[in-house]
Amino acid sequence: MKRIISLLLVLCMCLAVFAGCAKKNDEKAPDGMKKASGNNVDYSMYVPTAWEVDRNDLFTSAYYPGRTDKTNISATAHAIAGDIATVEDWWKTFENDLSNICTEMSKVAVTKARLGGVDGKEFTFTGKNGGTEYNFIITAVIKDFYVYYLTYTSPTEYNEKHLEERTMIVEAFRFDK
């Protein structure tokens, strides 16, 4: 009987340890929003409840569910290379990669921004992909040797409709550690 009680106590202690280490997923989403990010990332991204969520192991993505309105936002994190010290350094290489998929890019407006309480930059521009003009707003920060960035993409004719929602998503973004 003592062995059974001892075994049960050990099991309870193990469960308590694992429960304490588990990532909290019961946090309350801001009003009108739902959690889009999964447990495999170190941030929490929330999107409007009407948006569809598309998760995978590399990034979090959500989109407005419309046939012609292809507005979407994604959160991505990449380890930074040794020669990248600032968001501006990262942007130089990223912008070059973007030019391979986005044609007729407008001049990029760069402003100060915050993401998850970390200072960074926001890059706003338009460009074409597949003949359709899109508005892009990329909010980027560097934290713990990673660059984290939210990429908002909207067909030009739907951009104004979703700017307030985009702002809500950026403001609700949190780092979990």
**What residue ranges define each of the domains in the chain, with the CATH number in brackets?**
27-175 (3.40.1000.10)
Phi, psi of 56 (to 5 degrees): -150, -175
What is the rounded CA–CA span in Å between residue 142 and residue 144? 7
Coil, helix or strand at residue 77: strand
Q: What is the pLDDT of residues 84-136, one digit of tens each?
A: 999 999 999 899 888 888 889 999 999 999 999 999 999 999 999 988 999 99
What is this structure's pTM? Answer: 0.82
Taking a C-beta distance cutoff of 8 angstroms, is the pair 138, 123 a contact? Answer: yes
Q: What is the pLDDT of residue 8?
A: 30
pLDDT for res 3: 39
Determine the pLDDT at residue 111.
97
Q: Where are the alpha helices (DSSP H) in 22-51?
A: none
Strand partners, 54: 61
CA distance 145 to 175: 14
pLDDT on residue 64: 94
Helix H or strand E segment including 76: strand 72-79
Residue 80 near residue 142 (C-beta atoms within 8 A): yes
pLDDT under 50: residue ranges of the chain = 1-26
Residue for token pair 């447990």: 39
